[in-house]
Amino acid sequence: MCETCGCNITPGNEHLVKAGGKHAQTEDGRAAVTVLESLLSENDHQAAHNREHFERHGVLALNLMSSPGSGKTSLLEATIRALGDELRIAVIEGDLETENDAERIRAQGVPAVQVATGSACHLDAHMVHDALNRLDLDQVDLLFIENVGNLVCPASFDLGQHRNITLLSVPEGDDKPAKYPVMFRAADLVLLTKSDLLAFLAEFSPVRAEQYLRQLATQAPFLSITTREQVGIEPWIDWLRALVQDLRAQPDGRESQRPAPHSEGTRLRGLDAGQGHPHHHQFRNGKDTWRTSRRVT
């Protein structure tokens, strides 16, 4: 992943490794070519700072991850239509180039900040922090961070979010959780999107997809939705409402919620898996039914 493809150096953190930067040289004075561990440490420090911002302003931050074309932006459009009159929503969009997705979100009457990552195949905490400077968090209840379409690298970078949502679309095939375990282990919720295509793609088995997911020892809810017809979107909307209510129920609204830990992210940081962020599958408001899988067709 990032330690071999080089995408750990992004427009957001490259100042750390340029001449004069904090990690431009190793301890022995040599120029640092690969500084993955240091950059991940800096990323985690910035992510903690981002999370402090969110909690200070009472903002629930969610990280959307998936392969390209799985329906992240369509999901956001449908979510805005369903919740836009109830919650103040904002979006940070991550893509290598263009403002296409941000323009779609703005057309829904919601503020959207586009982050062009250049050659980097994921967002990092520094890029998110820069985007936050263009948002008024006092006017936001729910912030979606739409990560770059990629089933590998985004899962290894904490952005300061409270939860991770991973999308799996029917055209991708039902074995993606088995092929990309890091991404799906990091998920607090897995959404099966474009489920209206199940009638045309008989080779995709939702049951088998969930079996692959459970083989990763995760209890993340598995929901099936079709945003085009708004089919099955209610459980997703209820899940969001429960998270917002849970955050507001915290003392002063500031007790930290953290996304699911995963072994790859902690390995890259030189930590044991048990040292990751705590993950709470049960909401304190009693909505513990989300600990089990639900599928709506």
CATH of the domain at 194: 3.40.50.300
Placement of tokens 């903690």 in the chain: 48
Residue 259 lies in a domain: yes
Residue 219 lies in a domain: yes
pLDDT, residue 259, reads 79
The model's pLDDT over 95-141, given as tens digits with 9 standing for 90+, comes to 999 999 999 999 999 999 999 988 889 999 999 999 999 999 999 99
Residue 80 lies in a domain: yes
* Containing structural domain, residue 284: 2-291
Contacts of 273 (CB under 8 A, 6+ apart): 261, 263, 266, 267
pLDDT, residue 251, reads 63
Residue 72 lies in a domain: yes
Query: 3-state DSSP call for residue 55?
Result: helix
Number of Cβ within 10 Å of residue 251's Cβ equals 6
Find the DSSP H helices in 72-135.
72-83, 100-106, 125-132
pLDDT, residue 8, reads 60
Residue 42 lies in a domain: yes
pLDDT, residue 28, reads 57
pLDDT, residue 18, reads 62
Number of Cβ within 10 Å of residue 270's Cβ equals 10
pLDDT, residue 49, reads 96
pLDDT, residue 199, reads 95
For 118-184, give the DSSP string.
Answer: TT-SS--HHHHHHHHTTS-GGG-SEEEEE--S-SSGGGG---S-SEEEEEEEGGG-TTHHHH-HHHH
> Measured in Å, how far apart are the chain's first and last C-alpha atoms?
35
Q: In what order do the strands lie in the sheet with 189-193?
A: 112-116, 89-95, 142-146, 60-65, 163-169, 189-193, 222-224
pLDDT, residue 274, reads 36
pLDDT, residue 118, reads 87
pLDDT, residue 291, reads 29
Residue 296 lies in a domain: no
Question: Dihedrals φ, ψ of 95, to 5°?
Answer: -145, 160
Contact (Cβ atoms closer than 8 angstroms) between residue 127 and residue 153 = no
pLDDT, residue 155, reads 92
- Report the helix count and the strand count for the chain, using DSSP H and E: 10, 7
Question: Dihedrals φ, ψ of 265, to 5°?
Answer: -60, -45
Residue 240 lies in a domain: yes
Ranges of residues in the chain whose predicted pLDDT is under 50: 1, 3-4, 33, 253, 262-297
The number of domains in the chain is 1
Contact (Cβ atoms closer than 8 angstroms) between residue 144 and residue 113 = no
- Per DSSP, what are the bridge partners of residue 114? 93
Residue 297 lies in a domain: no
Contacts of 123 (CB under 8 A, 6+ apart): 10, 12, 92, 94, 115, 117, 145, 147, 148, 154, 157, 159
Contact (Cβ atoms closer than 8 angstroms) between residue 150 and residue 36 = no
Q: Is the pTM of this model over 0.85?
A: no
pLDDT, residue 62, reads 98
